[in-house]
Amino acid sequence: MKTLTVDLPGRAYDIEIARGSLDRAGERCRAVLPRARKLAIVTDTHVHPLYYDRVRASLEGTGFECRGAVIPAGERSKNPGLLSELWEDFMEFGLTRTDAVVALGGGVVGDLAGFAAATILRGVDFVQIPTTLLAQVDSSVGGKVAVDLDHGKNLAGAFWQPRLVIMDPETLDTLPLPVFMGGMAEVIKYGCIFDRGFFDFLAARPGRGPIMGEIEHVLYTCCDQKRSVVIEDERDTGRRMLLNFGHTLGHAYELAGNYTVWSHGEAVSAGMCAAAALGVRLGVTPAGVPERIADLCASFGLPTAIPCTAEDYAAAIGLDKKGAGGEIALIALEEIGRAAVCRLPKAQLLELLQ
């Protein structure tokens, strides 16, 4: 087992990476939740037939009483209506302040279940058991939980750290290829903003097979980088903002596709390529960097550009959580492996995009 500790004062928790860890979920949850009697397991229609029974059996084997809630798979489930349904389901189950929520699934499940845990009874504990590459390397770590609104992505949310993150690399074996490759966009992001050596490592291993051969190293590297950033800047006001590389424009692409055409990973891939090109135009990013990023993304079957109207850009940028007043923080690369926050007026960014 590889273990990393997110050492936040009073809210420290471990990220555990180990094959077969789904079968040890019960003992690990019991260790961090000694007072809990009931666990509400939130999963989705894709993950439920694959792993729900296995995880539930492990949890019940250590004395937990469990109840499952199965949501439709996909980004559209991150909505206030389903959030309200989870609240009511938790209350019907008899969840108390000493009980907990388990998020079993990808980023949508983790975001929705985490926000439900953060807000029910003014906050109960929750455990992340991410089953997709994107969730394992990114969204399950750091405590950002949210739902989408009609006006945009992740506009209602909270910072609510999990008590434990359990990652079983074997769950990646059942991912459809597009879902796996979508997760690679977040993996590539870490190389772009923090670690040139890791970027080169990925470039030398294009394709699912070579990456899965080194998957424990990939997961550990990404989680270690995110862990260090979260410890330094939990509330996303400083260095943690660098993790948004590709996301400001990526959210515009998701919105342009009505959250059904482009996955989050695909949108982030195109967003990173566009942000790198903008960095060149702003005089921050050296020439040639956008091409290197585009080549790496393309080697994993990810899009390097997505059509987007000026109206969709304006809608996403105008409401982007990284904006402050009339300004927006665009993450640009000073080189592969080093990123910087570039603050500029939103109107200027829209002009550059057009």
Its domain, for residue 186, covers 177-353
Same domain, 338 and 349: yes
pLDDT, residue 15, reads 98
Over residues 284-298, the pLDDT tens digits come to 999 999 999 999 999
Q: What is the pLDDT of residue 267?
A: 97
Are 186 and 129 found together in one domain? no
Count Cβ neighbours within 10 Å for each residue of 30-63 and write b for 16 or more, e otherwise.
eeebeebebbbbbbbebbbeebbeebbebbeeee
Q: What does the pLDDT average to over 99-111? A: 98
Check: CB of residue 134 under 8 Å from CB of residue 186. Answer: yes
Instruction: Report d(CA 313, CA 348) in Å as an integer.
Output: 12
Percentage of residues of the chain with pLDDT beyond 70: 98
> Could you give the number of structural domains in the chain?
2
- Residues in a beta bridge with 328: 323, 344
Residue 324's pLDDT band, with cuts at 50, 70 and 90, is: low
Mean pLDDT computed over 97-104: 98
We report the CATH number of the domain holding residue 272 as 1.20.1090.10
Q: Say whether both 124 and 207 belong to one domain.
A: no
Please tell me whether residues 160 and 194 are part of one structural domain. Answer: no
The separation between CA 149 and the C-alpha centre of its own chain, rounded to angstroms, equals 18
Whether 12 and 140 map to the same domain: the answer is yes
26/61 Cα distance (integer angstroms): 7
Domain boundary among 174, 206, 229: 174
* Residue 46 neighbours by CB under 8 Å, 6+ apart: 73, 105
Q: Which two tokens mark 295?
A: 């080549």
Indicate the pLDDT class of residue 311, thresholds 50, 70 and 90. confident
User: Do 64 and 155 belong to one domain?
Assistant: yes
193 shares a domain with 66: no
- Please say which residue of 174, 198, 219 terminates a domain: 174
Q: pLDDT tens digits for 243-264? A: 999 999 999 999 889 889 999 9
Q: Tell me: pLDDT of 150 over 90.
A: no
Least confident of 133-137, 150-154, 223-227, 245-249: 150-154
Q: Which pLDDT value is given to residue 255?
A: 87
Residues 6+ apart with CB under 8 A from 258: none
The CA distance from 299 to 181, in Å, is 10
Segment 39-53 shows an average pLDDT of 98
Global pTM reads: 0.95
| Predicted pLDDT at 316 | 82
Q: pLDDT tens digit string along 212-225?
A: 999 999 999 999 99
- Is 327 in a helix, a strand, or coil? strand
